[in-house]
């Protein structure tokens, strides 16, 4: 398989590249790769209020990560304008299944029928965007990490807590996929 | 303000107790740009790819996560074996996570998993999507912030 300019990178190129951010950050400054703690740093920066969890010097412990995060925004922008495909070529089986569930629109990286300003005003859009986002923030804070911190950094460092968290990620994801999403999409 | 070096729970990405020298901040920015770009080109930012994964209809996501973990694990083993130091000359160490009862990892993990499937994005991809122009992701991110804030507020009442 060649890496065409406008095609997705194969998994065996993308995966190792993602994994390399762990040693890159350790070597750069003894930093542990993990995105979700930025949500905590942002809360500490914006609205610590009287919550003890947010009363710490976020600049000292989190500024590097917030800078990294702003880079992720820029990287997303660059990719969208330099090469990343605007349509995701998912497996025919998944496409069939989603059509069967009621999807019509397969353009874009996220389905416009769920993720658009227009959809935000519908129940299914609200649940996908607002409730989903809330669970991402609450869940990662409670678990102390997300896909980057637990699944990649944590598993790579052979930490049992991270294995428990990752099993939780999949349990929750499978539940939502099989028992929540079909009802949401069926309402299209 | 409490001393950040005694953050009561070491979270991923919190970094070591060591100070971050400002001169290195551009380095983190560049790494972030590269990470956002890789996330986009690997398409792990796509709701469609996440659905494909949870329906077990493609090896792609498993291949990506698996090879990322393998690469990171090999790198960490190598760093530990050689006693490599950071650019700053600091000894590289990864703070251990406290297992406790394990409830926080299971319960928090499940809640995040529900959100991951619903939004089709974990925190990194969420911000890459905003950069890529899926502007409604700003609402998802704001809601995630609200979720993290509520956790902080409820934290004393939750089992860990």
**pLDDT band per the 50, 70, 90 thresholds, residue B41:** very high
Distances (CA, A) of A8 to A97, A106, A132, B44, B103: 22, 16, 26, 10, 37
Please determine, for residue A122, whether its predicted confidence score (pLDDT) is greater than 60: yes
**Residues A152-163 pLDDT 10s:** 999 999 999 999
CA dihedral A53, B28, A29, B8 (to 10 degrees): 10
Q: What is the pTM of this model?
A: 0.92
Q: Which of B12, B108, B117 sits opposite A176 (nearest CB)?
A: B117
Burial class of A16 by CB neighbour count within 10 A (0 to 12, 13 to 18, 19+):
middle
- What average pLDDT does the structure give for chain B? 89
Q: Which residue has the higher pLDDT, A8 or A186?
A: A8
Q: How many CB atoms lie within 10 A of CB A2?
A: 6
Residues with Cβ within 8 Å of B74's Cβ and at least 6 positions away in sequence, in order, are none
Please give the pLDDT value at position A184: 86
Query: CA nearest A76: which of B141, B146, B149, B109?
Result: B141
- In the numeric block, the tokens 């804070």 are attached to A141
Closest CA to B29 of A30, A36, A69: A69
Chain A, 76 to 115: residues with Cβ < 8 Å from chain B are: 76-80, 83-85, 88, 90-91, 93-94, 97-98, 106, 108-111, 114-115
Average confidence (pLDDT) over B34-56: 96
Number of A to B CB contacts under 8 A, please give it. 585
Least Cα distance to B86 among B18, B14, B10, B12 occurs for B18
- pLDDT value, residue A185: 81
Q: What is the pLDDT of residue B7?
A: 45
Q: What 3-state class would DSSP assign to A127?
A: helix
Mean pLDDT score, A96-103: 90
> Cα(B46)–Cα(B81) distance, rounded to whole angstroms?
37
Model confidence over B73-101: pLDDT tens digits? 999 999 999 999 999 889 998 988 899 89
Beta carbons of B117 and B50 less than 8 angstroms apart: yes
What is the average pLDDT across B61-79? 97
pLDDT band (50, 70, 90) for residue A4: low
Q: Are B47 and A111 in contact (CB under 8 A)?
A: yes
Mean of all residue pLDDT scores within chain A: 92
A5 confidence band (pLDDT: 50, 70, 90): low
Question: Which residues from B are below 8 Å from A61, CB to CB?
Answer: 4, 7, 14-15
Do residues B41 and A4 lie in contact, with contact meaning Cβ atoms separated by under 8 Å?
Answer: no
């Amino acid at each position: 398989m060649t890496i065409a300019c406008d095609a997705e990178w194969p998994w065996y190129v993308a995966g190792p590249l993602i994994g390399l951010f762990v040693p890159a950050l350790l070597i750069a400054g003894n930093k542990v790769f993990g995105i979700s703690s930025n949500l905590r740093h942002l809360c500490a920066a914006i609205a610590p209020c009287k919550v003890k969890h947010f009363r710490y010097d976020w600049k000292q412990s989190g500024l590097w990560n917030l800078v990294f995060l702003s880079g992720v925004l820029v990287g997303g922008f660059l990719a969208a304008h330099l090469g990343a495909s605007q349509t995701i070529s998912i497996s025919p089986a998944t496409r069939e299944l989603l059509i069967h569930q009621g999807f019509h629109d397969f353009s874009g990286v996220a389905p416009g029928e769920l993720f658009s300003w227009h959809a935000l005003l519908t129940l299914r859009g609200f649940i996908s965007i607002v409730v989903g986002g809330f669970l991402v923030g609450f869940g990662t804070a409670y678990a102390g990490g997300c896909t980057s911190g637990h699944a990649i950094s944590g598993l790579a460092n052979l930490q049992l807590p991270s294995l428990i968290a990752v099993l939780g990620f999949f349990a929750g994801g499978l539940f939502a996929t099989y028992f929540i999403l079909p009802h949401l999409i069926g309402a299209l | 303000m409490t001393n950040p070096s005694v953050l009561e729970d070491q979270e991923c990405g919190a970094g070591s107790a060591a100070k971050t020298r400002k001169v290195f901040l551009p380095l983190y920015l560049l790494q972030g740009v590269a990470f956002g770009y890789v996330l986009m080109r690997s398409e792990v930012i796509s709701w469609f790819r996440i659905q494909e994964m949870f329906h077990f209809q493609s090896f792609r996501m498993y291949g990506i996560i698996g090879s990322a973990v393998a690469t990171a694990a090999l790198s960490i083993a190598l760093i530990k074996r050689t006693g490599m130091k950071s650019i700053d000359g600091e000894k590289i160490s990864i703070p251990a996570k406290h297992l406790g009862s394990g409830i926080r990892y299971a319960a928090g993990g499940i809640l995040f998993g529900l959100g991951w499937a619903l939004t089709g994005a974990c925190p990194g991809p969420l911000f890459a999507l905003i950069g890529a122009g899926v502007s409604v992701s700003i609402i998802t991110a704001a809601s995630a912030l609200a979720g993290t804030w509520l956790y902080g507020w409820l934290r004393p009442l939750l089992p860990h």
